[in-house]
Amino acid sequence: MAFTDFTNLDFDQIRASIKDYLRANSTFTDFDFEGSNFSILIDILAYNSYLTAYNTNMVANEAFLDSATIRENVVSLARNIGFVPLSRRAAKANISFTVLGLNSSIQTITLKAGIVCTGSLDNTSYIFSIPEDITVGVSNGQATFSEIEIYEGTYLTKTFTVDTSQPNQKYIIPNPYVDTSTIRVKVYNDAQSSTSEDYSSVNDIVGISSTSQIFLIQEVSDEKYELFFGDGIFGKKLSNNNQIVISYITTNGPAGNGASNFVFSGILRDNTDAIITSSITSVVTNTPSQNGDNLQSIESVRYYAPRLYASQRRAVTAGDYEAILPSIYPNIESVTAYGGEEMMPPQYGKVFLAVKPKNSDFLAQSTKEFILNDLKKYTIAGIKPEFVDINVLYVELDSTVYYNSNLSSSPDSLRNNILSSLTTYSNSTDLNKFGGRFKYSKSLGIIDSTSNAITSNITKVRIRRNFEVILNEPTKYQICFENRFNVNDNRNNNIPNIRSSGFNLNGITSTVYIGDIVDDSNLSTGTLYLFSYESNKIVKQIDKIGDVDYVNGIINIDNINVSSTSKLNNIIEIDAIPHSNDIIAKKSIYLKLDIGNSDISMVKDLISSGENASGSRFVPESSYFSDSKIRN
């Protein structure tokens, strides 16, 4: 009898297969496999087969980008389709300082590459450096270094001598903490030469000639980086005895974010190469250090590598833009792109980009201009990319949680555990991104599974947008939720479907709020009005200030002249009850679960606790929101 079942990979299954095979052989028909010493040999065979099957499976997994788990293998597979993972990125700060009391014979001052400042953060000092020299002119005995960008990390150099007798000579930077954007390469004719040629980093060979002074970077083992130079066809070929001097900055990544107090520690030289010892003003911090980040994760490499390959570095479809943008600006947490034909009304010939940067909610205008300028080499004629600011949509929960008091005597502890579980979910990949989705059933399950003392929960959902108003200036606003609203016909009861926080208008003494009245029985559109809330009654102040599209989740506010808001930072909060408790982040919507504004109430389950087994005193919580008219 031959083995015919090759699907058994578990040890016990393999062991049973071997026994069945031996029993079918007449030589071993009288053996007691459970009691004989022969069972030890069977166990050894089974263990050997099990380990071989496991190792074979793991090796096979490492051969594919989707299933590989070892970073070197993931990077190698991504490299086969032309993708280079992002390196660590140094936190960058912007500073200015002035050198005073300079001799009239000095014409220029050069800040040498290397350490410039030390910055303090959380009782820890960090070194900040620049990757290349910066030279400024001298005027009236002083030299001003303005808007200098400094990088957190240590400036290092590595020298290689080209040896053409070694056909496989490698140029590997011997440090795994390099920010590759700071790599600078100079090539000298030989060790005695005083003149050099600067080589530039490129991502592809488009437009590269046989004389182009370029190099390419790729990640190799142990998170180190190897440099490749031209072969005389694509890029200038190096000659024997050339000296390659590679300078770079090694960084602590995100640990350097937030430094704002800097002390000058750099080296200054004048146009005669003499060291400057004149007085230096205190360093002025224009922008604290930010945007430091870790090495691109394996998950991110898996996601972006095939998409960038599919785009062929050409921005044609919306997906192409989403794949290319992170390679232009690495400090992207999430990105979405959609065509103008999806807008209302359609805007043909445009593609809209929304980007959520790390450590911030919005891109600076200068960053947008930089990205758009770099995108020009990828975009096709006739398509104009435009940035739109992200619209953060907050999901708030109002949950009543029933618990068995026999299994937990501390409802406060249970509540804290629920908040901890929901916070973990709020940081998950379901949310905090464009195209994210709040899954209602999942949130219910998270609450119930927090403790076996929890018997059930009734959870209601609201969605909220915050919009910043311009004070003392009549302004129109459009607030997009991109999710359908739940609507009650309130033409007879004046209970708003839309709620807002309070604010004040020029010309009205009372604090006012935004409310709505549906237009007709179709419940598809409504009219916005302003009211004050006096003695628990609605007092209309302005009958119409805009309209609401309940189906598409769009609120349009006409010119209002706001003088102040009850919330900080000139913010008005506006919320609604969604038509579906599953919330989708569409277009420029960025989804967040707001734990801080969610309400978790603990209620003793009298039935499960045995205090009222008949349930006669059990009053269940309503599954619907109460008729609240304003947002506190």
The structure's pTM equals 0.73
216, two tokens:
């390419």
Mean pLDDT of 352-356: 93
481, two tokens:
């939720």
Mean pLDDT of 608-622: 88
Tell whether 164 and 273 lie within a shared domain.
Answer: no
pLDDT > 60? residue 309: yes
Tell whether 600 and 478 lie within a shared domain.
Answer: yes
Q: How confident is the model at residue 1 (pLDDT cuts 50, 70, 90)?
A: very low
Residues 6+ apart with CB under 8 A from 369: none
SS3 state of residue 268: strand
Residue 57: the pLDDT is 86
SS3 state of residue 533: strand
Give whole-number Cα distances, 401 to 224, 412, 543, 597, in Å.
51, 12, 40, 17
pLDDT > 90? residue 72: yes
Residue 4: the pLDDT is 52
Torsion sign (Cα): 477, 482, 484, 486: negative
Helix, strand, coil abundance in the chain, percent, nearest 5: 20, 40, 45
Residue 632: the pLDDT is 84
CA 75 to CA 452: how far, in whole Å? 43
Q: Would 6 be classed as within a structural domain?
A: no
Start-end of H helices in 118-198 = none
User: pLDDT (tens digit, 9 = 90+) per residue, 407-416?
Assistant: 987 999 999 9
Please name which of 193, 274, 625, 605 lies closest in space to residue 411, comparing C-alpha atoms.
Answer: 605
Residues 6+ apart with CB under 8 A from 621: 400, 458, 603
Q: How confident is the model at residue 170 (pLDDT cuts 50, 70, 90)?
A: very high
Q: Would 216 be classed as within a structural domain?
A: yes
Task: State what percent of residues in the chain have pLDDT above 70.
Answer: 97
Tell whether 114 and 173 lie within a shared domain.
Answer: no
pLDDT averaged over the chain? 91
Q: How confident is the model at residue 35 (pLDDT cuts 50, 70, 90)?
A: low
SS3 state of residue 139: strand
Residue 381: the pLDDT is 82
SS3 state of residue 359: coil
Q: How confident is the model at residue 454 (pLDDT cuts 50, 70, 90)?
A: very high
Please name which of 493, 499, 627, 617 lies closest in space to residue 555, comparing C-alpha atoms.
Answer: 499
Scanning the structure block, which residue is given the tokens 């898996």?
302
Residue 207: the pLDDT is 83
Residue 606: the pLDDT is 92
User: pLDDT (tens digit, 9 = 90+) per residue, 514-559?
Assistant: 999 999 888 999 999 999 998 888 899 999 999 999 999 999 999 9
Residue 30: the pLDDT is 59
SS3 state of residue 490: coil
pLDDT > 60? residue 2: no
Q: Structural domain tally of the chain?
A: 5
User: pLDDT (tens digit, 9 = 90+) per residue, 220-233?
Assistant: 999 999 999 999 99
pLDDT > 50? residue 592: yes
CA 174 to CA 95: how far, in whole Å? 30
Q: Would 617 be classed as within a structural domain?
A: yes
Q: How confident is the model at residue 26 (pLDDT cuts 50, 70, 90)?
A: low
Q: Would 260 be classed as within a structural domain?
A: yes
Q: How confident is the model at residue 123 (pLDDT cuts 50, 70, 90)?
A: confident
Per the DSSP assignment, residues forming a β-bridge with 512 are 503, 532
Q: Would 300 be classed as within a structural domain?
A: no
477-503 b/e (C-beta count within 10 Å ≥ 16 → b): bebbbbbbbbbeebeeebebbbbbbbb
* Number of other CB atoms surrounding residue 507 within 10 Å: 9
Mode of pairing for the β-strands spanning 350-357 and 384-387:
parallel
Task: State what percent of residues in the chain have pLDDT above 90.
Answer: 69
Tell whether 274 and 172 lie within a shared domain.
Answer: no
Tell whether 449 and 591 lie within a shared domain.
Answer: yes
Residue 206: the pLDDT is 80
Phi/psi region, residue 602 (left: phi>0; alpha: psi -120 to 50; beta: rest), is beta
HSE-up of residue 580 (Cα within 13 Å, Cβ side): 15
Tell whether 375 and 240 lie within a shared domain.
Answer: no
Tell whether 344 and 243 lie within a shared domain.
Answer: no
450-471 b/e (C-beta count within 10 Å ≥ 16 → b): bbebbbbbbbbbbbbbbbebee
Please name which of 215, 183, 188 lies closest in space to residue 200, comparing C-alpha atoms.
Answer: 215
Where is average pLDDT lowest: 142-146, 356-360, 421-425?
356-360
Residue 7: the pLDDT is 61
Q: Would 82 be classed as within a structural domain?
A: no
pLDDT > 90? residue 23: no
Mean pLDDT of 341-361: 88
CA 361 to CA 590: how far, in whole Å? 10
CA 447 to CA 437: how far, in whole Å? 18
User: pLDDT (tens digit, 9 = 90+) per residue, 236-267?
Assistant: 999 999 999 999 999 999 999 999 999 999 99
Tell whether 191 and 217 lie within a shared domain.
Answer: yes
- Sheet of 284-290, strands arranged across: 261-264, 114-121, 124-130, 143-152, 92-99, 284-290
62, two tokens:
């490492």
Domain span at 115:
92-153+254-290
Residue 178: the pLDDT is 97
Tell whether 463 and 340 lie within a shared domain.
Answer: no
463, two tokens:
């969605």
CA 293 vs. chain centroid, Å, equals 10
For the chain, give the number of residues.
632
User: pLDDT (tens digit, 9 = 90+) per residue, 3-19?
Assistant: 555 566 778 888 888 77
Mean pLDDT of 461-468: 96
Please name which of 227, 224, 202, 203 lies closest in space to residue 213, comparing C-alpha atoms.
Answer: 202
CA 207 to CA 408: how far, in whole Å? 70
CA 295 to CA 74: how far, in whole Å? 13
Q: How confident is the model at residue 358 (pLDDT cuts 50, 70, 90)?
A: confident
Q: Would 122 be classed as within a structural domain?
A: yes
Tell whether 195 and 263 lie within a shared domain.
Answer: no
CA 576 to CA 395: how far, in whole Å? 10
CA 378 to CA 203: how far, in whole Å? 13
pLDDT > 70? residue 385: yes
Tell whether 559 and 497 lie within a shared domain.
Answer: yes
Q: Would 297 be classed as within a structural domain?
A: no
Tell whether 172 and 122 lie within a shared domain.
Answer: no
